[in-house]
A = this chain, B = another copy of it.
């Protein structure tokens, strides 16, 4: 039976998640903040942690770092939309998934199950940097260099580019891109993604060749 640690300061959220998790047959332990989570991790093993970002005592990011020093447990982050959002991409590259509030519990559980199932499979990408010929991407520094020259991209463009690069060689549907970059319950015009792609392509100049259009699907960063 998979053991799951639910970390959130709101008791209602914890209760909701607990109910759904138990319906799936998971064993649930709750913690009301990062500190409590850390202590529970010390004394017990979990298969997965479901953790909010905004919490008193020890926020989700810090808790995540501390926990990962101890044990390599997969983590799904819960975040309110907008809140610290880009940190997810800019700073924390080790989390397994994240869900934007308000979330659908079924969706959360689907992700939990997916993460548990693919335990052992290679993770997303934990590197700080990636480079392709003269195109260098610094995830932590949030820079993109073209032939050694730093270019200026808007926040959403960075995030989109980072997402594509982290998923290089994967044909990404616009839906996946939307989920990955904007959050699962975000809905916008397909043309919006295209517009950002256009800006990125303009920015990276000749290296635009790496961003290929997958007609009828979406895009792919292909090395």
Contact = CB atoms under 8 A, between A and B. Distances in A.
Interface of A: 12, 15-16, 19-20, 23, 85-86, 89-90, 93, 95-98, 102, 104-107, 110-111, 114-115, 117-118, 138, 140-142, 154-155, 169-171, 175, 184-185, 187, 214-217, 220, 222
A185 B141 contact: no
A12 B220 contact: no
Number of copies of this kind of chain in the complex: 2
A145 to B, nearest CB: 12
The 5 A-B pairs at the shortest CB distance, nearest first, are namely A142-B171, A155-B216, A110-B187, A97-B104, A16-B89
Contact of A96 (B106, B115, B214): B106
Contact of A154 (B97, B102, B215): B215
Q: Is the interface of A mostly helix, strand, loop or mixed?
A: mixed
Given A141-B220, A170-B141, A98 B89 contact: no
A89 to B, nearest CB: 4
Contacts of A111: 104, 185
